[in-house]
Amino acid sequence: GLPPCAPRTSADGEHAPASAAVALVDGAAGELVRELLDGCLLPALTQLQANAGMAAEVWSVLGALPYTQRYALYAALKARSEGRSDSRSDARSDMRSDMRSDTLPLVVAWKRAQNDARRIMRRLSKDNTKLYGRHLAKASHAHPLAVLDALIGQVESYENLINPVVESLRWLSALSFDALSYTLLEHLGTGRARLKADGLNASHWLQSLCSFCASLFKRYGGIELRGLLHFVAHALKAGQSTQLLLLTALLRTMGAQEHVDELSDQQIDALAGSDALRTASIDLAAAAGAKPAAKKGAARLLAILLADGLAPMLLVLLGRQRATLCHATDTPHLKLVGELHDRCHDALLQTVTFITSHVPPAEYASLVPPVQTLVIGHRLEVEVAFHIARHGYAAQRG
């Protein structure tokens, strides 16, 4: 059998490209590298037969690029593989146009890889994840975009496949894991209906995909998470309240922030106590001590929220969404408006709880704007602004 091909990761959990490739990112050399990847290396990889070594060499260069540039390359390759025109065709040079003069081999490779992936997925179950996980990894070496696109389509349709699929992905290469993070974003950003016919509940495909994302990013620490969190922030900024389902799934699975719809009187009283008592009142298993993998997932999620400035941005966006949701929603269903408001409020509470439970008050005070700025500058409700800023005032009391 094939040995496990785990992603090469750095100390912070992100993929670590070869040091020689990092110098090629900037300037004219970086533009040349992107052109070669876009017009030659990535298309040529799709024509090979499961060459794990070549996929690793391509990733050693591709992994040096920021995730935004990598995702743009994936999008261009997928467009040509599906027979669609590349939106950046007007910016191509003559050399790049010559290299892409014939897309038929890419279309054939895409169809072949998708058929292989569907054939493997039909046989995958919780009892044979080791066997077919290796087959899945081998099929993804040449064309990870096609294989993983078919895989996610199956996960969206069959929720019972989430756990077996997550377990079977342990043999994917670093390039395939990165392509998987892009493919997830593409599926989440489609224009499909996000609500069921009743107009109240999230669509089945969205619920399955959010659960799969949460389980995947908790299980594998080397996958690019920044793109997904930035996607959630931009969706909230655009008023897409249905993406709250993805945020709460990440907080619940990676951040161990359990949500309980109905609390007993004893649990409500316990929420006025210490952090340990509040945790025990919601989840006794978490109070006994989180597993090392769970702690790593929470630390990684927090590190990205703080490093990219997403923590204060998400808090402000959630508070603003909560304040304007009732007026900005054009749906005639009053019950749906109430459901979306409750969902937004729960997401705000989970986000604040997650950040405040891991960030000291002094650091939190420098991270979050003061109440005056939240109310006047960001137009948040007074009670929401005080809830967001309250943890920072503990540093002043100390």
DSSP string across 280-330: HHH-HHHHT---HHHHHHHHHHHHHHHHTTHHHHHHHHHHHHHHHHHHH--
- Work out the average pLDDT over 123-132: 93
Token couple for 226: 């920044």
pLDDT at 175 over 60: yes
Number of folded domains that form the chain: 1
Among candidate residues 346, 366, 356, 340, the one with its CA nearest the CA of residue 388? 356
Instruction: Name the amino acid, one letter, at 365.
Output: A
Range from 17-26, 41-50, 120-129, 199-208 carrying the lowest mean pLDDT? 17-26
More confident residue, 85 or 254: 254
More confident residue, 258 or 318: 318
More confident residue, 205 or 289: 205
Quickly state the pLDDT bin for 278 (edges 50, 70, 90). confident
Query: What are the beta bridge partners of residue 9?
Result: 15
Indicate whether 42 belongs to any domain.
yes
Domain ranges, residue 69: 19-108
Range from 180-189, 209-218, 236-245, 257-266 carrying the lowest mean pLDDT? 257-266
pLDDT at 259 over 80: no
Indicate whether 90 belongs to any domain.
yes
Indicate whether 194 belongs to any domain.
no
Looking at residue 332, its pLDDT comes to 61
Indicate whether 101 belongs to any domain.
yes
> Is the backbone of residue 5 left (phi > 0), alpha (psi -120 to 50) or beta?
beta
pLDDT at 231 over 60: yes
Burial 150-175 (b: 16+ CB within 10 A, else e): bbbbbbbeeeebbebbbebbbbbbbb
Quickly state the pLDDT bin for 291 (edges 50, 70, 90). low
Looking at residue 338, its pLDDT comes to 82
What global pTM score does this model have? Answer: 0.84
Looking at residue 293, its pLDDT comes to 58
- Work out the average pLDDT over 318-342: 78
More confident residue, 342 or 25: 342
Cβ pair 374, 380 in contact under 8 A: yes
Q: How far apart are CA 200 and CA 198, in angstroms?
A: 5
Token couple for 196: 């069921």
pLDDT at 306 over 50: yes
- Work out the average pLDDT over 45-60: 92
Q: How far apart are CA 91 and CA 273, in angstroms?
A: 60
Q: 158 to each of 212, 242, 322, 349, 365, how far by Cα in Å?
A: 11, 21, 32, 31, 44
Kindly give, in sequence order, each residue whose CB lies less than 8 Å from that of residue 63, ignoring residues fewer than 6 positions away: 15, 16, 17, 18, 21, 70, 174, 175, 178
Looking at residue 280, its pLDDT comes to 72
pLDDT at 288 over 50: no
What tens digit of pLDDT does each residue of 54-105 get? 999 999 999 999 999 999 999 999 999 988 765 554 444 444 444 445 688 9
Indicate whether 84 belongs to any domain.
yes
Cβ pair 305, 311 in contact under 8 A: yes
What is the distance, to the nearest Å, from the Cα of residue 79 to the centroid of all Cα atoms in its chain? 22
- Work out the average pLDDT over 336-342: 81
Range from 45-49, 174-178, 189-193 carrying the lowest mean pLDDT? 189-193
Looking at residue 99, its pLDDT comes to 45
Indicate whether 93 belongs to any domain.
yes
Q: How far apart are CA 220 and CA 377, in angstroms?
A: 39
Looking at residue 89, its pLDDT comes to 45
- Work out the average pLDDT over 358-373: 92
- The secondary structure of residue 376, as a DSSP letter, is I
Token couple for 390: 């309250």
Range from 25-29, 34-38, 346-350 carrying the lowest mean pLDDT? 25-29
Indicate whether 67 belongs to any domain.
yes
- Work out the average pLDDT over 150-173: 94
SS (H, E, C) 15-76: ECCCHHHHCCCCHHHHHHHHHHHHHHHHHHHCCCCCCHHHHHHHHHHHCCCCHHHHHHHHHH
Query: What are the beta bridge partners of residue 199?
Result: none
Indicate whether 396 belongs to any domain.
no
CB atoms within 10 A of CB 123: 10
- The secondary structure of residue 3, as a DSSP letter, is P
